[in-house]
Structure 1
Amino acid sequence: MGTALIQSPREAAEIIRAGGVVAFPTETVFGLGVDATNDQAVRKLFQAKGRPSDNPLIVHIADAGRWSDAAATLTPTAEVLLSAFAPGPLTVLLPKRAEVSDLVTAGLGTVGIRAPNHPIAAEILRLAGRPVAAPSANRSGRPSGTRWRSVLEDLDGRIDAVFQQDGPSLGVESTVVDCTGPVATVLRAGAVTIEQIRRVLPDAREVNEDADRHADTDVRSPGTLHPHYQPRATVRLVDRPSALASQEGARVAYCGLLPIEDQPSVVLSEVFNSLDDYAAGFYEFLREADRQQATVVFVQRAPDKGIGHALLDRQQRAAGER
């Protein structure tokens, strides 16, 4: 049985309430939503994605005021961040509410929550009336889906429905910030930059700055433990387009901020006008490279600043460098 295409937030919410799995758009990437309090529904989600069970999920709420739907307490650092960035592409890690399935959090006592800044997502969550676990809508390890047709490529017949509407997306997932301690610690770079976070929490730090980094950091943060964002083609990072090596017999794809000269082996090339456009289009470019049967994808490294910091992280993971 194929996956239904829907355009009604109410229908999406009803599927979630009934224990089903629905892909819906957010301002970052498409999310794959299930009732976070329903063990059986969460199992269906993990099975559909082929996601390892030790990889926790982010829980989505209709608005920041509903934090208690998923979290047991709201810490001072989380309150500051939610006031500044919610709704938006920010996930705060807090002590878990007992009603949230332990499968969602991989058995941990903490849960990541966020309120998406997208009218369709917010309406689905409001109508569902419960916390919704929603990782990116793709097969585990593949590039995240930013268009509904890309979601279907991975998940047709594996989930109940896909919301049939595209729209502007940031193209990079939410920033995950551990707010369980006295100092906010960024566990996963995302669409909210560390510079923005430090404007409201000057002592915030990134996990790689933390000399006392815990061994379980990758486990605590969704999207960091296992291989992610990888197309079928081999991904190679380059600093400049001129660094492209000759690839005899290969089908080459290239993306970046600078153009390359036409080469006979290049089957796909995309030059982005800005760093924001680069972040927004990166995942879909990787998917198009697979559609064009590219065997090698050259990716110009994003500058390590602003949203480029998160994009560079995704590029490194796509190339297997993280």
Structure 2
Amino acid sequence: MTALPSRLVPPLLTDSPAEAAAVLRRGGLVAFPTETVYGLGALARDADAVARVFAAKGRPADNPLIVHVARVADVAGVALVTPLGAALLEAFAPGPLSVVLPGRGGLPDAVTAGLDTVAVRVPGHRPARALLEAAGAPVVAPSANRSGRPSPTTWRAVVDDLGGRVDAVLRGPLADVGLESTVVDATGEAPVVLRPGAVSFEALRERFPDTSLLAERGGAVRSPGLRHRHYAPRARVRLANVPPERGDAEAAWIGLAAPPPGYGLVEVCPDVETYARRLFDLFRRADAAGLASIDAERVPETGLGRALMDRLRRAAEG
């Protein structure tokens, strides 16, 4: 694995996708906004740059990466597009859906973690697509955070987490979704949801009635983000069905309901979508405030709530 330099230089902060793409073409690492979370980008065919992604994040080598491309037509350049994959892309791309397909070859083994498949996504976010178009090549982009930490939903969170481990940061607003993409295995005859995300299980089932969940199917894990500890702040995450009777000055609260007075930090969200968008930022603010724990309200596991509860459970287990 490529070692990081002994002296870390602060990253270039830019609002220009073209300037950020020039850094990528030189073999650099660029954090950039997508509709889900901020990603840590490197040219997918540059083995040295990909190795730097793993080193910067402290990411385990058996955790594959998602390849991002500017257009649906570009997917065929890195993967063999199955009939099911083509149908999924037609239905949900560009957008927050990553499709696992048979690999075409030509990518460093680190990208696929030695698997014969590759996950590919076409972001719907305009700055992300502008960056990919300017780069003129596929880009790997796991979340731009240290491995195991909450994914960043703001460019400032990227700087706080990675600092000089990244060469440039393409600035943007708070991520629209706030949770990572849905990952779907499209190597068979019916979709299998490997990781829930913004494209809900219900939406997939509406278009593809035979869609199933990984937990229902079992088998080998082909998805990034499932093998290791993820999304956990330093504060202990406690799941709650309803707010407790008393607030805790050493804790934060996030949920749909208003908590009792006394919490050190409070985030009351009007709906599940806002809850998801603000979750990882709340985790980071609680850590910055030195709070010991975070009480997070459970939500029904339908629509985006399924992905939100997946992240909350992983954070609580962490």
- Give the structure-2-normalised TM-score: 0.95
Contact 1:61 1:69 in 2 (8 A): no
The answer for the alignment partner of 2:115 in structure 1 is 108
Q: Deviations over 1:138-178 (max 9, x none)?
A: 11001000000011110111110111221451011110000
Aligned residue among 273, 283, 287 for 2:284: 287
Q: Distance in 1 between matches of 2:68 and 2:294?
A: 33
Q: CA RMSD in A?
A: 1.3
CA distance in 1, matches of 2:106, 2:26: 17
CA distance in 1, matches of 2:316, 2:147: 16
**Structure 1 residue runs without a partner (length 5+):** none
Aligned with 2:197 (options 167, 187, 190):
190
Q: Of 298, 307, 310, which aligns to 2:307?
A: 310
Aligned position for 1:3? 11
> CA 1:251 to 1:282, structure 2 compared with 1: closer, same or farther past 3 Å?
same
State the 4+ residue runs in structure 1 displaced beyond 2 angstroms. none
CA drift at 1:69: 2.1
Preserved CA contact (<8 Å) 1:188 1:221:
yes
CA–CA separation in structure 1 for the residues paired with 2:214 and 2:295: 28
Q: Partner of 2:266 in structure 1? A: 269
1:156 aligns with 2:163: yes
In 2, Cα distance between equivalents of 1:299 and 1:222: 25
Aligned to 1:135: 142
What is the alpha-carbon distance in structure 2 between the residues aligned to residue 201 and residue 276 of structure 1?
A: 24
Aligned partner of 2:59: which letter? R
**Aligned counterparts of 1:108 and 1:88: Cα–Cα separation in 2:** 24
CA deviations 1:205-251 (Å, max 9, x no partner) are 111122xx11x32xx1111110001111111111100366x86xx61
Q: What is the Cα deviation at residue 76 of structure 1? A: 1.2
Aligned equivalent of 1:70? 78
CA deviation map 1:262-319 (0-9, x unaligned)? 02xx210110011110011101010111111110111111221110000000000010
Matching residue of 2:22: 14
TM-score normalised by length of structure 1: 0.94
Aligned twin of 2:185: 178
Q: Give the SS at the match of 2:244.
A: helix
- Whole-Å Cα distance in 2 between the matches of residues 3 and 313 of structure 1? 32
Measured in 2, the distance between the counterparts of 1:69 and 1:257 equals 43
| Aligned equivalents of 2:287, 2:244: Cα separation in 1 | 23
Q: How many residues align?
A: 310
Query: Contact 1:171–1:281 (CA<8 Å) still a contact in 2?
Result: yes
